[in-house]
Amino acid sequence: MNLFAEIKTLVLSALHEMVGEGALPADLNFSNVSVEPPRDALHGDMATNAAMVLAKPAKMKPRDIAEILAQKLTADPRIDTADVAGPGFLNLRLDPAILHGLIPQILNSGADFGKSNIGQGRKVNVEFISANPTGPLHIGHTRGAVFGDALSSLLDFAGYQVTREYVINDGGSQIDTLARSVYLRYLEAHGQAVSFPEGVYPGDYLVPVGEALKAKIGDAYIDQPEDIWMEEIRNFATDAMMGLIRSDMALLGIEMDVFFSEKSLYGTGKIEACLDALEAKGLIYQGTLPPPKGKLGEGWEPREQTLFRSTAHGDDVDRPVKKSDGGWTYFAPDIAYHYDKIQRGFDELIDVLGADHGGYVKRMKAAVSAMSDGKVPLDIKLCQLVRLFRDGEPFKMSKRAGTFVLLSDVVEQVGADVTRFVMLTRKNDAALDFDLAKATEQSKDNPVFYVNYAYARVFSVLKKAGNPSDEKLASANMALLTHDAEINLIKKLAEWPRLAELAATHHEPHRIAFYLYELASEFHALQHLGKVDPDLRFIREDAVECTEARLAMIRAVAVVISAGLGILGVTPRNEMR
RNA sequence: GGUCCCGUAGCUCAGCUGGAUAGAGCACCGGAUUCCUAAUCCGGGGGUCGCAGGUUCGAAUCCUGCCGGGAUCACCA
């Protein structure tokens, strides 16, 4: 289904043939041979670098290799011409029938067009959001949420078996703080005047939690010491916060497969078992860390702690797993959590984190490498900050939380689809400026609109043509699509499977967004040509066959846009008014 | 000071395991609509790819060192 992969197979078999005939030496490594879209469409439909990457190991001139390869390739019916160009590129022009044949393929496969099996059913765990259950999700979580969800869909599209996972940090001291905060709201619900000292969460969102607690237990905990109510309120409050977070996620249409409780690692021997496993590899020891370099060294004092030898797996310094008082550091349960993921049989792990976790990457990779003996790759995707604007002015106020802009504020203002798309128009590791006013603007300046507009235009045209079925369109005579702009559009469609594979292997969903913009652009250009030259209009009363072929083509555009937006989690609209 | 990320057109950013004359949008200038959505399209000007070395047939891309911006940095999760 991936035309580029198909032609690459052809190139490789031609190369093997050349080896068999003695035209190339044996033992050549073909892994660097690629077949790609050429930078300039004038060069042809596809280009291969085979002659250039093989020239040196084969000790031949690139052009000599290219000449022979060109002869072999043109013998194949799929290849019209193969021209040697530049330093040794081989530019291929395909038999138009190959491109034309793509359209029925797209119409018949529908949303499945572009799916691949590069994942080969490998189990991949994508952990994302994982916000502390102490309040609603804010803008800082939103990008990671959208990114993780889209990456998951992308990997699924590429043939991986994906698990979306959220780890609930319900074991740490911040939950004690949450419980105390809720206790105050509980007292408040009973009519007591309360003040909120430093170190508790003052947010209004805890008011209903305090009231709910009152409704559940009445006045049982009034004037009671902390050790009486702490455990129960911790659980009660955590559940309430996870309820909030789940409803925030629902606003973006995100559903997790697994919610993993960090607390489940404590008191169950899981952390101990994990560290035992590391100790068996000689990676746990008692020791004292050197002072940090630089001026932060002030106030530092040596402490003997239990340390993980992360330097054995690429980290810069070993990391403590136990505090000097014997309690676990945060790192310890997190190692155990990743150990658990490995034991659950995942072949690959992905963590989506905020950029403020940058210092955490090496140690976690070291831990996973150590625990899996280097067999389970861990990719940590750091999402950089989102800067919110409205009409060019920084946007910071939140009506409900007072400090952070909430995810729900953003979705309320621009909608889930716009939020998702905009969040995916940047690489995850580049900072993102998000202008809430521009995001709802209906213009080409707004990529969401621009892409969806192309989709809606297709529907408009099809409607005008009486909504022919995909089956009927698939049987049209595509050979009538001969105009350059039409061929360019089909070539863009042909790139989709390849692009989806690349985006998946690189864990970069933003490439989908950029591709969709380009596809929409090709479509808008062609659509406009019909205004200048009536013969190029999609619907021609005087040419039924041609009309059918064109309708099939634009229907294929809609199918691919729909598939792409589907991966991004955006629902295309059939009309924009 | 260590580590990580970023540095590409006036602005915001793409640039696909290194490949051909470095691309797009905005802004600016000039055009296009009796028509399926002008909410669009076409053309033009605009670049020492932060700087300097290195690797090679070839570097925005890989390596080293600087410069600038951001994040982070030992018993906080």
Q: How confident is the model at residue A541 (pLDDT cuts 50, 70, 90)?
A: confident
Contacts of A537 (CB under 8 A, 6+ apart): A530
Specify the amino acid at residue A237.
A
Residue closest to A81 by CA, chosen among A45, A55, A54: A45
Q: What Å value separates CA A427 and C1' B29?
A: 33
Q: What is the tens place of the pLDDT at every residue in A338-357?
A: 999 999 999 999 999 998 89
Domains and CATH numbers, chain A: 3-94 (3.30.1360.70), 123-171+257-383 (3.40.50.620), 173-251 (no CATH), 442-568 (1.10.730.10)
| Contacting residues 59-118/A vs strand B (CB within 7 A) | 62, 85-89, 91
Residue A503 has what pLDDT?
Answer: 95
Is the confidence at residue A400, as pLDDT, over 50? no
Q: Which nucleotide is nearest to A33 (CA to C1')?
A: B17
Residue A28 has what pLDDT?
Answer: 86
Q: What are φ and ψ of residue A164, in 5° steps?
A: -90, 130
| Contacting residues 464-483/A vs strand B (CB within 7 A) | 464
Residue A251 has what pLDDT?
Answer: 96
User: Complex ipTM, two decimals?
Assistant: 0.94
Residue A484 has what pLDDT?
Answer: 86
Say if residues A349 and A368 touch (Cβ distance below 8 Å).
yes
Please tell me which residue, A112 or A325, carries the higher pLDDT value.
Answer: A112
Q: Compute chain A's Rg from CA coordinates.
A: 29
Is the confidence at residue A398, as pLDDT, over 60? no
Residue A345 has what pLDDT?
Answer: 97
Query: Can you tell me the mean pLDDT for A137-150?
Result: 93
Q: What Å value separates CA A445 and C1' B45?
A: 21
How far is CA A569 from its chain centroid?
Answer: 10
Q: What Å value separates CA A127 and C1' B65?
A: 37
Q: How confident is the model at residue A322 (pLDDT cuts 50, 70, 90)?
A: very high
Is the confidence at residue A1, as pLDDT, over 70? no
Query: Can you tell me the mean pLDDT for A44-60?
Result: 89
Q: How confident is the model at residue A405 (pLDDT cuts 50, 70, 90)?
A: confident
Most confident of the ranges A247-256, A409-418, A480-489: A247-256
* The token pair that represents A256 in the structure block: 């997790």
Residue A294 has what pLDDT?
Answer: 59
Q: Which nucleotide is nearest to A298 (CA to C1')?
A: B74
Residue A297 has what pLDDT?
Answer: 53
Q: What is the tens place of the pLDDT at every residue in A5-26?
A: 999 999 999 999 999 999 999 8
Q: What Å value separates CA A387 and C1' B68?
A: 21
Residue closest to A257 by CA, chosen among A354, A351, A128, A372: A128
Query: Can you tell me the mean pLDDT for A546-570?
Result: 95
Nucleic strand B within 7 A of Cβ A261: no
Is the confidence at residue A399, as pLDDT, over 50? no
Residue A139 has what pLDDT?
Answer: 87
Q: What is the tens place of the pLDDT at every residue in A430-489?
A: 888 888 888 888 777 788 899 999 999 999 999 999 999 999 999 999 999 998 889 989
